[in-house]
Amino acid sequence: MKNQHLTSSLNIFPKSWSEENAGRVPGNIPIWVGILSELTEFGIFFVAYFIAKFYYPNEFISGQQSLNTSLGVTNTVILLFSSYFMAKAMCFIRVNNKAKCERYLWLALSCGCLYLLIKTWEFYWNDLQGFTSNTSEFFTVYYYMTFNHFLHVGWASCAILWVIYRLRNGAYCAKENSGLEALAVYWHMIDLMWILIFPLLYVLR
Amino acid sequence: MKFFFGKLEIYLTALIAITLFNTFLAEQFASPALVNCLIALTVTYKGFTVIDHFMELKQANKNLRFLMRLYFITFPSLIIISAFY
């Protein structure tokens, strides 16, 4: 059993990183490779943001004041709710309540779709105001970060649909739910990125 | 659906309240350096809350938790530094 476990984690990590010593890995190892890669990608965007802000402070102040803060706040609240619904879905699958788990997954999906709709409206609103990615250095960073995040919410929403389909087919239960948990931690990672993006683009002056 | 106000609901309420409070601070107060520092601290708190209680890393792998928390120390620190340039 122990050998089987070492094989499943590819035996590439030091012993102190093993689940016996460091604790359980939520979901599975591949999703964490993905999550850490995404964090690196967004980390590069954030560093680019601070460098650009250092060289073009006036463009950033005027750019931030031009954005529709209400839409940013609404999207933040929606994503927080979606994370909450995802956490509740995990709570219910652990007690084998598949009906409630599915209900909360649909709620999380609804939040994802609502976020995408509001973001699309925001891009349209920006376009009406004449703001494009070439308007200023701030808007280049803004579109790069927010459109990238938009794509992540989009494909993670599709993943929720896939997980609902698998749940209905009996793939998850109280004992085996690593696929659902992998989606949950990925979804929370997307929420975490927005928690950083929102103040950087909409709130800080 | 019977509604139960447990720990998750308390954390959700706190996260929403902090978000609204941050936005209000930024809109109303004229001292960007102080406001930016406060916002950076609240971003760290929000990140830690999601990592520990929604992602459930508090009871899981300590290395993953460390890496995730480090992320929410590094970038809010850059926010504080950027408030002074």
Q: What is the pLDDT of residues A41-93, one digit of tens each?
A: 999 999 999 999 999 999 998 998 899 999 999 999 999 999 999 999 999 99
Give CA angle at A32 (A119, A183), nearest 5°.
50
* Closest chain B residue by Cα to residue A88: B8
CB contact under 8 A, B60 and A24: yes
- B82 in contact with A at a CB cutoff of 8 Å? yes
pLDDT of B32 over the 90 cut:
no
Query: What is residue B48's predicted lDDT score, i.e. its pLDDT?
Result: 96
Query: What is residue A202's predicted lDDT score, i.e. its pLDDT?
Result: 93
pTM of the model as a whole: 0.91
Give the type of residue at A75: N
CB contact under 8 A, B19 and A73: yes
* Closest chain B residue by Cα to residue A184: B55
Question: B2: pLDDT confidence band, cut at 50, 70 and 90?
Answer: low
The ipTM estimated for the assembled molecules is 0.92
| Distance in Å, alpha carbon of B52 to nearest chain A alpha carbon | 11
Mean local confidence (pLDDT), A164-184? 95
Report phi then psi at B55, rounded to 5.
-80, -20
- B32 in contact with A at a CB cutoff of 8 Å? yes
CB contact under 8 A, A23 and B62: yes
Give CA angle at B13 (B9, B15), nearest 5°.
115
CB A187 within 8 A of CB A86: yes
Q: Which residues contact B85 (CB under 8 A, 6 or more apart)?
A: A54, A57
Mean local confidence (pLDDT), B12-41? 89
Structure tokens at B23: 């936005």
CB A73 within 8 A of CB B19: yes
* Closest chain B residue by Cα to residue A16: B63
CA distances, B18 to each of A73, A188, B4, B23, B58 (Å): 11, 18, 22, 9, 21
Query: What is residue A11's predicted lDDT score, i.e. its pLDDT?
Result: 65
Which range (A3-12, A152-161, A195-204, B28-37) has the least confidence?
A3-12
Nearest by CB to A73, from B23, B55, B82: name it.
B23
CB contact under 8 A, B50 and A192: yes
Query: What is residue A19's predicted lDDT score, i.e. its pLDDT?
Result: 74
pLDDT of A205 over the 80 cut:
no
Structure tokens at A122: 């925001």
CB contact under 8 A, B61 and A43: no
Specify burial of residue B37 (Cβ count, 10 A radius: 0-12, 13-18, 19+): middle
Q: What is the pLDDT of residues B45-83, one digit of tens each?
A: 999 999 999 999 998 889 999 999 999 999 999 999 988
CB contact under 8 A, B43 and A195: yes
Q: How far apart are CA B54 and CA B48, in angstroms?
A: 10
Give residue B80's Cα distance to chain centre. Answer: 14
CB A145 within 8 A of CB A45: yes
Nearest by CB to B50, from A25, A50, A83: name it.
A83
CB contact under 8 A, A87 and B8: yes
Q: How far apart are CA A175 and CA A130, in angstroms?
A: 53
